[in-house]
Amino acid sequence: MLDALSTIADSTTSTAAQRLFAAEAQDAVRFVEAMSRRYTAVLMNPPFGEPVPATKKYLKAAYPWLPKFEDLLAAFVGRGLELSQHEVGTCGAITSRAGLFLKTYEGWRHEVLLAHQLAAMADFGYGVMEQAVVEACAYVLKNEPPRCAGVFVRLTKETDRPASMRAASANARVHAEDDRVFRVPVEDLAAVPGSPVAYWMTEDLRSIFLRGTALEGRFARVRQGLTTSDDFRFVRTAWEVNPSRIGYEADEFRADRKWAPFAKGGDYSPYWADVHLLVDWADSGRSIKETVNEKYPYLNGNVSYVVKNEDCYFEPGLTWPRRTNSGFGIRLLPRGVIFADKGSAVLPQSAETTFCILGWLRSRLIQALLDSMVAGGEQVSSGGGGRSYEVGLVQKLPMIVVPQLQEVIGRLVRRRA
């Protein structure tokens, strides 16, 4: 076919339209041929973000494991493996490292990243992709099932990454001691809930997930809260409202008392933070719900997608800022407060365990486990890179029950809080 098209394109007797068509057809045929071959090596720096609407249906059908927002990054890596020869082919990619940790990529990790031999990975962090403000990593996948440990090089804290990469890679090849180099089997990565690629975790740290009992269920309910859809209209600071118009129980809101305390995340302040915001909750949030219905008609009146877990409002417990530049800022949530989507809640099954759970969740051990499950490149410190502590992560946190220590932990936390 290409020979015939070349003849038409080169012929002096062909019309301009025929030559143009032949040239374009040649390009199309070459593209189809290239996509139908299988290669020993496929290299890419794929685009990331949402695909154009016209391709979404196809991508979802072809790759059911795509993230919720059908990120192109995941689709390209999956396609790259398809284009590599089975057993001998490899796919190399430099991408955002968000796919290594975020819950929305869990299906991609199970079906693509950890279902193949992850031969090597360099974890760069920020400052690699020119002006793109994104944490990056580069990895090589073999188109075969995982058979041996992968080699991971952690460079997130290095200032001269090219030199550090060369030195760490040289040490890895000869198995020399280097605290930047880790060798981890895929099954060890899968031991952590959600299978984040937390290659730096020790075996003892991973075992806590197996030994402990998840926070959600036996110990507490971990829930998202209210999103108003229009904070400018529905949220006030406490000093803007007459105290007589503030209510603290679900059944006491009426025309002259419509404001409820509103825990909406805020600054890093572990153990305790004043609830300085109020939300319009007149008639059980009627105005908010009407706004939700107007703004999101496709919900068909099911406002619980936005006004989440209304039955849990005003209960005492714990809350934390979902998005932060610091550590996990868990703190007390007083009775009589509505919690937000950005300030979700831990509601203990027993009020007596509240301070003990607070102490456990504020421990350095829990912070280390959370660091393994979020996408931030460096260990958290005040002023570090931002990260998001989602409800799903907190629900999975393991609780280690030591009955004789519960009262002691609770007493110590009461002094601190």
CATH code: domain of residue 102: 3.40.50.150
286, 191: one domain: no
Tell whether 279 and 376 lie within a shared domain.
yes
Single out the residue in 200, 228, 262 at which a domain terminates: 200
Give the SS3 label for residue 331. Answer: strand
Identify whether residues 169 and 301 lie together within a single domain.
no
Query: Is residue 48 included in any domain, yes or no?
Result: yes
In three-state secondary structure terms, 157 is: coil
Residue 215 lies in a domain: no
d(CA 125, CA 96): 9
Co-location of 169 and 235 in the same domain: no
Longest dimension (CA), the chain: 95
Q: Which residues contact 379 (CB under 8 A, 6 or more apart)?
A: 368, 371
Cα angle, residue 214 at apex, residues 212 and 262 outer, rounded to 5°: 135
Looking at the domain assignment, is residue 7 inside a domain?
no
Q: What pLDDT is stored for residue 5 in this prediction? A: 45
Question: Alpha carbon 256 to chain centroid distance?
Answer: 42
Amino acid, single-letter form, for residue 194: G
Do both 275 and 327 map to the same domain?
yes
Q: Each residue's pLDDT tens digit in the chain (417 positions)?
A: 545 545 544 554 556 676 666 667 667 666 666 666 789 999 999 988 888 888 888 898 999 999 877 689 999 999 999 999 888 899 999 998 888 988 889 999 999 999 999 999 999 988 777 766 788 999 999 999 999 999 999 998 888 989 999 999 999 999 999 999 999 998 888 888 888 899 998 888 888 888 889 999 999 999 999 999 999 999 999 999 999 898 888 777 766 789 999 999 999 999 999 999 999 999 899 999 999 999 999 999 999 999 999 999 999 999 999 988 888 999 999 999 999 999 999 999 999 899 999 999 999 999 988 888 876 544 443 334 567 899 988 999 999 877 767 777 877 887 776
User: Is the residue at 120 inside a domain?
Assistant: yes
Shared domain check, 116 and 56 = yes
Number of domains in the chain: 2
Inter-CA distances, 182 with 109, 188, 271, 360, Å: 19, 12, 35, 29
Residue 5 located in a structural domain:
no
β-sheet bridge partners, residue 398: 214
> Is residue 110 one of the residues assigned to a domain?
yes
Evaluate whether residue 9 is within a structural domain.
no
Distance (Å, whole) CA 347 – CA 233: 28
For residue 91, give the 3-state DSSP assignment. strand
For residue 159, is it left (φ>0), alpha (ψ between -120 and 50) or beta? alpha
Do 280 and 167 reside in the same domain of the chain?
no
What pLDDT is recorded for position 13? 54
Same-domain pairing of 171 and 91: yes
Q: Give 3-state DSSP helix, strand, coil % of the chain, rounded to 5.
A: 40, 20, 40
Q: Is 367 exposed, middle or buried (0-12, 13-18, 19+ CB in 10 A)?
A: middle
Query: Could you identify the residue written with the tokens 């572990």?
Result: 270
Containing structural domain, residue 293: 220-416
Residue 323 counted as domain residue: yes
